Amino acid sequence: MHTPSYTFDPDHNFRDDSTKKTHDYASGAASEFKRFIMDIEDLITQSTALTDDELQQAKNKLRKLLHDAQASLHDTRVSAGRHLNQGAHIADHFIHEHPWQALGVGTALGCILGFLLRSTK
């Protein structure tokens, strides 16, 4: 299992060393999904002119594309879950290191949220 590595800089900002990798991975997944959609559109457009053998090849290609898209979606979900856990760990660490600041931030957010959600009678 991947153990996240964090850096705490002098300005008290956490930096996750895998953030750039995740951004690159998400960009790759998005472009892979766009290619998947374009390939499906091409197959639909060409399907009327295909022979039986070509149609079978197109089906096999579509199955492979679908499998690759599902794998990419799974990997993205796993990565997002890992980053949510890392965010929770960072928040927990911050709260333990700076309890009064965390209380102030929580109070301010509660007041702002209460102000925004109050009913206007």
- DSSP E strands in the chain: the ranges are 6-8, 14-16
112: DSSP letter: H
Q: Tell me whether residue 52 is exposed, middle or buried, using C-beta atoms within 10 angstroms of its C-beta: 0 to 12, 13 to 18, 19 or more.
A: exposed
Q: What is the pLDDT of residues 3-50, one digit of tens each?
A: 445 554 545 555 555 555 556 666 666 777 778 778 777 777 777 777
Beta-strand ranges (E) seen in 14-104 are 14-16
What are the residue boundaries of the structural domains of the chain, listed by start? 6-117
What tokens does 80 get?
């997002």
What pLDDT sits at residue 88?
A: 92
CB 33 within 8 A of CB 65: no
Query: Mind listing the pLDDT tens digit for each residue in 55-76?
Result: 788 788 888 888 888 888 888 8
Q: The whole model's pTM is what?
A: 0.48
Q: Provide the pLDDT confidence category of residue 96 given band limits of 50, 70 and 90.
A: very high
| Confidence band, pLDDT 50/70/90 cuts, at residue 97 | very high
* Residue 71, pLDDT score: 85
How does DSSP classify residue 2? P
In the chain the first and final C-alpha atoms are separated, in Å, by 53
> What gap in Å lies between CA 79 and CA 19, rounded to an integer?
10
What is d(CA 36, CA 6) in angstroms, rounded to the nearest whole number? Answer: 35
